[in-house]
Chains A and B, each alone.
Chain A
């Protein structure tokens, strides 16, 4: 059973729309949650992290966390073609021996069309 699940997409939205990316996780001991963006053939890069319930906003990006529902999402407002990439949800579980041990979902491919 997968520990982090993402809607694999692909997700296609028009330029200027809101893109909504979703992620669920199985372990209630999860403590920190990350969204990485990966362009094709490039390295994953961190765009948002969140560890408290609620919303966290950074520019056009909003991360939402609901620990009771074991759900984390990423909203991208005013989507641009340059946002087209694979978005990776990742979690860190409490009690692990490695504080950098991320568990990733499979990623959601987002395409923003002009």
Chain B
């Protein structure tokens, strides 16, 4: 079974340009998450899709970031225009688990990340 795949693995762009990152979750996983790790910092949550709907986008840094998941399959994360502080590794994760509460043991399956370098 294929895991979570992300594309591109590495992107180098100049400040002000646009970049679109893509994530293909594990087939059948309704839940899709975007996380980001900037240099020297911890991995931070950006947003969560359930199918095509945004469940939680509280981690999105600003309106230069746009995430979509049309049709509830793959997702894209667009950064427009990119700034220097956007550099980092963007992780996508997916899961099947839909249970909330203390008994939540849902495992998130992460992709290898897309490294973004903004010059």
Residues of A at the B interface (CB closer than 8 Å) are 2, 4, 31-32, 36, 41-46, 49, 51, 88, 92, 94, 96-107
Set A36, A43, A49, A103: member contacting B111, Cβ < 8 A? A43
Nearest chain B residue, comparing its CB with the CB of A103:
B45
| Chain B contact residues, majority secondary structure | loop
Q: In the docked arrangement, what's the CA distance between A43 and B91, Å?
A: 8
| Inter-chain CB contacts under 8 Å: number | 77
**Of listed B91, B95, B98, B110, residue having the most chain A CB within 10 A:** B110
Set A41, A43, A100, A106: member contacting B31, Cβ < 8 A? A100
Determine whether the beta carbon of B56 is less than 8 Å from that of A97.
yes
Determine whether the beta carbon of A99 is less than 8 Å from that of B106.
yes
Q: In the docked arrangement, what's the CA distance between A106 and B103, Å?
A: 25
Knowing A32-B105, A43-B112, the reply to whether A98 touches B43 (Cβ < 8 A) is no
B69-105 to A contact mask, C-beta < 8 Å, 1/0: 0000000000000000000000101010111111111
Known: A100-B95, A104-B42. 13 other contacts (CB 8 A): A2-B42, A32-B105, A42-B112, A49-B105, A51-B102, A100-B31, A100-B93, A100-B106, A100-B108, A101-B48, A101-B56, A101-B59, A104-B44
